[in-house]
Amino acid sequence: MNRPGVDRSGTGGAAAPATGSGRIRTPLPFPTAAKPAVADAQLRANLHRATRTIRAKRARVVDEVPDWEALRDAGSAIKADVQRRLPELLEQFEASATAAGATVHWARDAAEACRIVVALTRAAGADEVVKVKSMATQEIELNEALEAAGIAAYETDLAELIVQLGEDTPSHILVPAIHYNRAQIREIFQRRMPDAPPDLSDEPAALAEVARAHLRRRFLSARVAVSGANFAIADTGTLVVVESEGNGRMCLTLPETLISVVGVEKLLPTFTDLEVFLQLLPRSSTGERMNPYTSMWTGVTPNDGPQAVHVVLVDNGRSAVLADPVGRPALSCIRCSACLNVCPVYERAGGHAYGSVYPGPIGAILSPQLTGVADNASLPYASTLCGACYDVCPVKINIPEILVHLRQQAPHPVAEKATMRVLAWVMRSPRRWATALRLARVGAGPLGAYRERRSGARTLRRLPWPASAWTRSRDLPLPAPQTFREWWEKQ
């Protein structure tokens, strides 16, 4: 089997690493997809309230850690080390996990990963699986592949369950149902959960209780579980899942067969490295000092827990990301979602606008790298480069720098390219630039005088396309009656 990230031949270097597929592509350009979200007042209010609450919580618990910056540096350094030694660490992980009784599978892309999971589920004789929240399985569109193979997949994370019952897709990494309020959730439960009482209230405790009873029946009947992993430890072969509800732990311990789908970037070199990440992750994601449940398993434990344990290591474009030294740190992401919660663009546009299972600032750099920038060209522009994401990133991914780097690779619209080139030609010559400034000032002169007579403001209210993109929301300042350099020369 072809091993992603471990091509050490050095001879097959002619072929670039394969790009990824699955739910990481934008079906619509970001500006188009964001439009309905911006216009949806309920959605905007839900997102505003949720992101504001969680970012305040994060800020509080981060502030109380005296060595937070040192932890970020440590996390960043460990991840950089993983990226330097990924092939070696993957082989070490495979050896350790296999020695502990797990079976390791390698998947080049989404389709291959799905085929492996379907085959393993069939081999276990099951026609349903329970799932613990996993970004990787959403990325490879595993639920759809299982359904096509006649296997029902049940999400057990509460928010994932809401999204699945609502026949929707997640819009946030940590809080997939962030775009719903509790009245909307109650409505989904009543419509799609046969066991929900008709007088169900929208109190969070009541909603959680109904979901709990619903899920308990699933856990007790399922023979196969599918999980992701937050971390995979190379030296011990251990997988780690960090969660809040305990539903994950039910999946990881009750079924006979456990299949874990893990992106190759999830590796950590040693068990002691966890010390850093178990401090960084909960504070950055849920704003808690520690998450309620951390589950770890290493292969098979005789007569305890799943007796058949499989790990599917997924590349799906990650080797291509690894090959770019500037973009590579995107693979350091621990999916905490802190960047989403501080991003003013995410707060207005919501997660669905990104079209990818990875929304927000991290999605804007990760998704285009996984698929190839040309296929996701609007995402690197879905940011004002305000830098708030970089400040909160627990592993110090310089998201603005990578956004700018990816914009260099994006295919540029013809008219934009022509305009930019002309402007660059003018601006690279002081003489041409001075002339252009004078011409703009002279040209705007009559317009300015006209506007001043009318309203006293030297701005324009309406301009034709494409400048209408500006004047739809705001007035445009006109060139001043005298440029700075004209003033300088006259004084």
Contacts to other proteins by CB under 8 A: 30-31, 34-35, 38-39, 44, 344-345, 348-349, 380-388, 390-391, 404, 407-410, 412, 416-417, 420-421, 423-424, 427-430, 433-434, 437, 440-441, 457, 459, 461, 466, 469-470, 472-480, 482-489
Helix (H) or strand (E) holding 232: strand 231-233
In 104-256, which ranges are continuous DSSP H helix? 110-123, 135-139, 142-148, 158-165, 182-192, 204-221, 247-253
Give the nearer residue to other proteins in terms of CB position, either 249 or 407. Answer: 407
Give the nearer residue to other proteins in terms of CB position, either 125 or 443. Answer: 443
257-263 vs 476-477, strand pairing mode? unpaired
Give the nearer residue to other proteins in terms of CB position, either 272 or 468. Answer: 468
Give the nearer residue to other proteins in terms of CB position, either 305 or 387. Answer: 387
Give the nearer residue to other proteins in terms of CB position, either 136 or 353. Answer: 353
CB of 33 to other proteins, least distance (A): 10
Q: Rg of the chain over CA atoms, in angstroms?
A: 26
d(CA 401, CA 330): 11
CB of 181 to other proteins, least distance (A): 19
Q: Amino acid identity, residue 277?
A: F
459-460 vs 231-233, strand pairing mode? unpaired
Compute CA distances 253 → 103, 105, 232, 250, 265, whole Å: 17, 21, 18, 5, 25
CB of 388 to other proteins, least distance (A): 7
CB of 424 to other proteins, least distance (A): 4
CB of 379 to other proteins, least distance (A): 11
Give the nearer residue to other proteins in terms of CB position, either 35 or 84. Answer: 35
459-460 vs 476-477, strand pairing mode? antiparallel
Residues in the chain: 491
Give the nearer residue to other proteins in terms of CB position, either 47 or 254. Answer: 47
| 44: β partners | none
d(CA 101, CA 118): 21
Contact present, 339 and 382 (Cβ < 8 Å): no
CB of 23 to other proteins, least distance (A): 22
DSSP for residue 107: E
Give the nearer residue to other proteins in terms of CB position, either 4 or 361. Answer: 361
CB of 486 to other proteins, least distance (A): 8
**Phi, psi (degrees; rounded to nearest 5) at 365:** -105, -30
Structure token digits, residue 159: 């928010």
